Amino acid sequence: MAEIIAIANQKGGVGKTTTTLNLAYSLHQLGKKVLTVDFDSQANLTCCYGIESPNFIETNIAHLMMAKMEEQELPDKTTYIKSAGGVDFIPSSISLSVVDATLRLEMGSELMLSSILEELRGDYDYIIIDTCPSLGSLTINALAAADKVIITVNPQLLAMMGLQDFMKTVKKIKKRINTRLEVAGILLTMCDSRTNLCKVLKDQVYDEYNQVAPIFNTTVPATVKV
């Protein structure tokens, strides 16, 4: 049975997609069977897998979500699960933004993604969800489906300010919707250790959240090479 991990933060540009992609391939290299889910209407993860025109994909996560809301049977998994370099993925498209708006009117809408992924748990060791930069219906769906969440944070002031709100959201979802949800850890990304601001904000994360959630010892440096 797969462990479902959401990579999340309400702030954009903090390395969620890059973390999802590299974590998936790292687990694959360890011999694990991995599925990633692009749950962002910008479809950046889908593009990272080499799909240049995600909006022309016949079946993507938006179609699956709409099928669940309409209580229709899902298509065969071979029609929507793609593969690249040994890692499977479910692509996204701009249509997911329509799903986001529709979810707000649906009864039990926060469990739609969970019902899709539960049918795939037996096929994988890990399912990793790349989330959108908001605290809307899509992110709530991802957290409701996940066993664990990795919170990516780059040491900048605005990202730090949003972390507290996100932690409150995780706590509410654990209490009200998904009791198994745990914070796997806070991952500091895009760290430029040469700057004093980066050092100060890293220390602030440790001081404020070390007793609340695990903080990964590994930090992801900023590099122009990548």
Give pTM, 2 decimals: 0.93
pLDDT at 11: 85
pLDDT of residue 135: 86
CB of 150 closer than 8 Å to CB of 14:
no
* 167-171-172 Cα angle (round to 5): 120
Q: What is the mean pLDDT of each run of 10 residues along the chain (226 residues)?
A: 95 91 97 98 95 89 94 93 97 93 85 96 97 92 97 77 85 95 92 77 80 85 74
Q: Which residues lie closer than 8 Å to 21 by C-beta, 6 or more apart?
A: 36, 45, 48
Domain annotation for the chain: domains and CATH numbers: 3-209 (3.40.50.300)
* 7 and 129 Cβ atoms separated by less than 8 Å: yes
96-103 helix and 137-145 helix, angle to the nearest 10 degrees = 90
> Taking the CA of residue 130 as centre, how many other CA atoms within 13 Å lie in the half-sphere pointing to its CB?
31
The predicted pLDDT at position 158 comes to: 64
213 membership: H or E segment, kind and range: none
